[in-house]
Chain A
């Protein structure tokens, strides 16, 4: 069975702080894809990144970076120098090749960046 755990329900930081959102996943499939989405108060899920199971290179995009570690089944997301506009709920999601192939989401982490 596939499962995504985001243990941090809510995080509150002050602007310009760095913050890391944790994501731990479970799957028995060897080929799978991991995603991060951002859900601002408007409600729309905004795609941030996709990673496949064969690519463990870390990714950096501006203030965002992702650390994928198969050894610990984790795909953590770091925001550097956080801004108020980063306030949102962030979801980690997993989709395996083979099996049900559904996109399975974690429960999300609500990030509040205070000025």
Chain B
């Protein structure tokens, strides 16, 4: 079974530029998550989708970050404009359903460096 796919794997941009990340979850998984992992810390949830609806975006900096999952399958996370503090690894995860007992499976992540 294919895992969670993410692209690109690495991205270097200058501050105030925009960037987009793509994620394709495990087939059949209704729930998709985006996490931000700053160096030396654990991942922090940015947004959770159930099919194409947002379940939780309370920790998403909505002035610069946006995400969508239009067809309930793959998803895009965008940052516009980027700041230096956005340098991090952006991890996508998916689970079969949204309950707290569900195991989340993670993709390889996108390493973003903002100069």
**Contacts known (A106-B42, A107-B40, A107-B42); A44 close to B103, Cβ less than 8 A:** no
A91 on the B face (CB < 8 A): yes
Residues of chain B within 8 A (CB-CB) of A32 are 100
Q: Report yes or no: A35 in contact with B103, Cβ–Cβ below 8 A.
A: yes
User: Would you call A44 and B109 a contact (CB within 8 A)?
Assistant: yes
Given contact pairs A91-B42, A103-B45, A107-B40, A45 touches B103 in the complex (Cβ within 8 A): no
A67 to B83, CA, bound (A): 42
Bitwise, A22-42 to B at CB < 8 A (1) or not (0) is 000000000111010100001
Given A32-B100, A43-B108, A100 and B56 contact (CB-CB distance below 8 Å): yes
- The reply to whether B106 and A45 contact each other, CB–CB distance below 8 Å, is yes
Query: Which of A33, A37, A102, A105 is B101 in contact with, Cβ under 8 Å?
Result: A33
Of B42, B43, B103, the most chain A CB neighbours within 10 A belong to B42
What is the interface residue range for chain B against chain A? Answer: 20 to 34
Tell me which residues from 9 to 63 in chain A have a Cβ below 8 Å from any Cβ of chain B: 31-33, 35, 37, 42-47, 50, 52
A45 to B100, CA, bound (A): 18
A52 touches B101 (CB 8 A): yes
**Residues of A that sit less than 8 Å from B by CB:** 4, 31-33, 35, 37, 42-47, 50, 52, 91, 93, 95-97, 100-108
13 contacts across the A-B interface (CB closer than 8 A): A32-B100, A43-B109, A43-B111, A45-B43, A47-B103, A47-B106, A50-B101, A96-B100, A97-B99, A97-B100, A101-B100, A106-B42, A107-B41
